Amino acid sequence: MGMEVAPLSTPENKLTAIVTLAAAVDGVDIVVGAHEGLVYSVEAPNPDMQPYAEELASLSAGYVETVTSRALAGKASVILASHRDKSLLVADIGEGYTVAILGEPGAISALLAPVRRIVEGKPLQCPKCGALLEVFTQTCPRCGRRVPFGVASCPFCGADLSIRTCPNCGTRLRLVEERLEPVEAEAAKEAAAAPRPEQEKAVAAEAPRLPLGIGLGAATLGAVIYFLAAAIFKFPMGEAAVAGALPIAVSYALAVAKSK
């Protein structure tokens, strides 16, 4: 008897799934769900960050609006930016819902792929029992920190985490591309040799989308993230105005275009 697969058809359900996942990952300071810039839900593993919830909600909504209108022409869904020792992930879930996740860079970058899969409605599921696995975490056997279930290596120490066990049915699973496959099935597939044509096609079609907007959007994103960081961490805003765009454009990590 497996657990029910949580439907991810509504923005509220996606928001709940993202908040559940992110709040359980080590190194995350605060997770703020927002609707139209107003706080919808807050999880603050680091209580020191709790007072910044409203600021993060309104600024992340403006952040998404800036990015979608100027840099990515409406295609941005998940954005990751870094400043000094903190990173911020902002997800545009649709219908006015956003999620902002602030924390240490390793934790935040590890959340990028799982959050994107949830936003796109294509979460990792167990191929045996159908359980929605994206909201689970796993504990790194080398460094002991909790990381998202759907990462192939530990973002903190680099340990190989490609084999994991379904917490619902106990099947051993391997992360292959963006899907989980039973370990036995994977071995059989390797014996079958050559990749299928449609798989090659899918990879080839996806590749050009990734760098989209980085050149165009980096300065804008840099300025926005800098002001956001300045507001939260009390950096002097004069310094932000002068030095904002350049250093953050360099540290700005990745913008992932929505598939469609």
Contacts to Zn ion by CB under 5 A:
126, 128-129, 131, 140, 142-143, 154, 156-157, 159, 166, 168-169, 171
Question: Which residue, 170 or 195, has its beta carbon nearer to Zn ion?
Answer: 170
Tell me the closest approach of the beta carbon of residue 166 to Zn ion, in angstroms. Answer: 3
Tell me the closest approach of the beta carbon of residue 70 to Zn ion, in angstroms. Answer: 37
Tell me the closest approach of the beta carbon of residue 173 to Zn ion, in angstroms. Answer: 8
Tell me the closest approach of the beta carbon of residue 127 to Zn ion, in angstroms. Answer: 8
CA distances from 143 to 20, 28, 133, 162 (A): 22, 16, 22, 16
Tell me the closest approach of the beta carbon of residue 3 to Zn ion, in angstroms. Answer: 9
Question: Which residue, 78 or 147, has its beta carbon nearer to Zn ion?
Answer: 147
Helix axes 214-233, 53-66, angle to 10 degrees: 160
Question: Which residue, 95 or 184, has its beta carbon nearer to Zn ion?
Answer: 184
Tell me the closest approach of the beta carbon of residue 253 to Zn ion, in angstroms. Answer: 20
Tell me the closest approach of the beta carbon of residue 192 to Zn ion, in angstroms. Answer: 23
Q: What DSSP line would sit under the chain, residue for residue? A: -PPPPPP--SHHHHHHHHHHHHHTSTTEEEEEEEETTEEEEEE-SSGGGGGGHHHHHHHHHHHHHHIIIIISTT-EEEEEEEETTEEEEEEEEETTEEEEEEE-HHHHHHHHHHHHHHHTT---B-TTT--B-TT-EEE-TTT--EEETT-SB-TTT--B--EEE-TTT--EEEEETTEEEEHHHHHHHHHT-S--HHHHHHHHHHGGGTTTTHHHHHHHHHHHHHHHHHHHHT--HHHHHHHSHHHHHHH--EEEE---
Question: Which residue, 27 or 33, has its beta carbon nearer to Zn ion?
Answer: 27
Question: Which residue, 87 or 171, has its beta carbon nearer to Zn ion?
Answer: 171
Per the CB < 8 A criterion, the answer to whether 97 and 12 are in contact is: yes
Per the CB < 8 A criterion, the answer to whether 171 and 129 are in contact is: yes
Question: Which residue, 137 or 220, has its beta carbon nearer to Zn ion?
Answer: 137
